[in-house]
A and B are shown apart, each in its own frame.
Chain A
């Protein structure tokens, strides 16, 4: 089953979606409007870029310290939590055990995010910038 569909089948998951690393497209299911989903995708991409930049700094400080490449991040709100793994995101209610279940499913379904994440994130629309980056 597709990861977004699987997440949306869990009670307490408000919305889930996928954003392109390049930021040019997104898809989602759940209680978001198209515009909110677009904003969520931009927010997720920005945060993913930010934590990956930080992990590169950690790595230059302490090589192979176990943080790189970053797999995702979680923002725990008062009643709502936003999780992102790879290029998938979900908005969930703060219910008992829901966060652990959602993270387990997202990690298992997305798999280990590989080292080419930053190249994808920095890629210009329609171009391959890996060569320019490294």
Chain B
């Protein structure tokens, strides 16, 4: 995983990878950001949880409604007041809302 490539996305404050259990593995922080490795470590645990919940919902939705196109899951994002966290698999980025390009970020995480 090339974290520097993720850091080059518009508005990125942090890029990180984590284990299947949600433990922070590697990270890069933009200079001047108030985010800390400790916050990222908490964030990565929620990333694992949210992706698991979303995968369950996607599976259940497809089974119940007969609609397709939800699986396999390609990512999850939580949009906060000032920044959003965008994750897919075992990698994620934190992007400033005003500069966020969600589509490019999801695509970058998909191909990373």
A interface residues with partner B (beta carbon < 8 Å): 36, 39, 43, 47, 50-51, 54-55, 57-58, 61-62, 65-80, 85, 93-94, 96-100, 103, 107, 112
Give A107 to B74 CA distance when docked, in angstroms.
22
Chain A binding surface SS class: mixed
| Contact between A62 and B36, CB atoms less than 8 A apart | yes
List A contacts of B74 (CB < 8 A).
76-78, 94
30 contacts between A and B (CB under 8 A): A39-B61, A43-B57, A47-B57, A51-B50, A54-B46, A54-B49, A54-B78, A61-B38, A62-B38, A66-B81, A67-B82, A68-B80, A71-B79, A71-B80, A73-B77, A73-B79, A74-B77, A74-B86, A75-B70, A75-B73, A76-B76, A76-B106, A77-B70, A77-B73, A78-B70, A80-B67, A80-B69, A96-B103, A107-B79, A107-B97
Give A62 to B71 CA distance when docked, in angstroms.
34
Tally inter-chain residue pairs, CB-CB below 8 A. 118
